[in-house]
Amino acid sequence: MIKIGHISAVGHSGALQGRVRNRVRAWLLPLLLIFTLESFAQEIVRIIRPQSEEDASHHYFSALLQQALDKTAAEYGSAQAQPTPFVLEQGRAEQALKAGQHIDVYWMGTSLEREQELAAIRIPLLKGLLGYRGLIIRESERLFFSKRVNWLRLNLRSICQGMHWPDSDILESGGFRVIRSARFKSMFAMLENFRCDMFPRGIHEGPAEVSAHSQNSDKLGWFDQYLIYYPFPMYFFTKKDNVVLTDRIAKGLEMMIDDGSFMTFMQQHPVTQHLFPLAQWPERVEVKLLNTQLPADTDITDRRYWVVPE
């Protein structure tokens, strides 16, 4: 009797557990379905991947974009910035964006042509600091660049720049001889091998790029005692007809400026935290150039968005 009773009790207990499991499943399945649908419903915003290990600024712009998307999630829904599985050099990335292929957003220095062919979100992603250019130089020539008098004839020395960069046109218009390259990484080798004399870079990106390159070579260094300056904002760009995404990013960035999180982001990010206090950079400008590729209606005096040299 005891044995039979025990078996009966176990059977009863097993039946009870089975009913509980079924109820739990019945309760969980709809939740799992909701979570699954939400994960599929999350918008993917395609961006480029880093061009090389020296591309130190990629994380800054991709993280800033993600924050802008997060700020607007309540209105537009969840979205995630996702890099392409392959590298796109700037020229190819720009063409892909125009065609609506591979990427949905790209960050670039602006130009007349780019603003005509793409949708520019006119909020400078570095408060205009992209136009403050320090120099990657050969360490063996640091003494030359540290003598202010040599900056009076700086345009006698050649410059490495990207094939499709607006900087290249600006510097050429300013009287510099520019040696262009389609590949970002190759410009470090060109400088080391005396194929150019300096490699101007934004003050936000140069130090980290030199640090990354120093893992392979100690021949190059960063110089920002004196600077070249031209008004040159970095914007997020989207395809012309991608109106919803364009408006969403613009709204997210404006929200970040309003609540102070944009400045906090700059102060805390490893690529830009060394720039503070921002007032130091206009004082170091030694060479000023015009940017004829900047649309005429760009207000470079608006201190909500720009750090402006006197």
d(CA 55, CA 185): 9
Residues found in the chain: 310
211 with 138: CB under 8 angstroms?
no
How far apart are the C-alpha atoms of 121 and 291, rounded to whole Å? 19
Token readout for 143 is 């003494």
For position 90, what pLDDT does the model report?
Answer: 85
d(CA 224, CA 146): 9
H or E element in which residue 120 lies: strand 119-121
Output DSSP code: residue 188: H
Q: What are 151-194's pLDDT values in tens digits?
A: 999 999 999 999 989 999 999 999 999 999 989 889 999 999 99
Which pLDDT score, from 0 to 100, does residue 308 have?
A: 78
Identify the segments of the chain with pLDDT beneath 70: 1-41, 310
**Distance in angstroms (rounded) separating the CA atoms of residues 110 and 236:** 9
- Domain extent listing, the chain: 43-127+233-275, 130-229
Asked if domains 43-127+233-275 and 130-229 share a fold, the reply is yes
Report CA-CA distances (Å) from 220 to 36, 198, 211: 50, 10, 9
Answer yes or no: CATH 3.40.190.10 is held by domain 130-229.
yes
Q: How far apart are CA 107 and CA 94, in angstroms?
A: 10
pLDDT digits (tens, 9 = 90+) for 67-80: 999 999 999 999 99
CATH number of 43-127+233-275: 3.40.190.10
Residue type, 14: G
Helix (H, G, I), strand (E, B) or coil at 226: strand
Long-range CB pairs of 73-77, under 8 A, 24+ apart, other chains included: 75/248, 75/251, 76/43, 76/244, 76/248, 77/41, 77/42, 77/43
| Cis peptide bond N-terminal to 83, omega within 30 | no
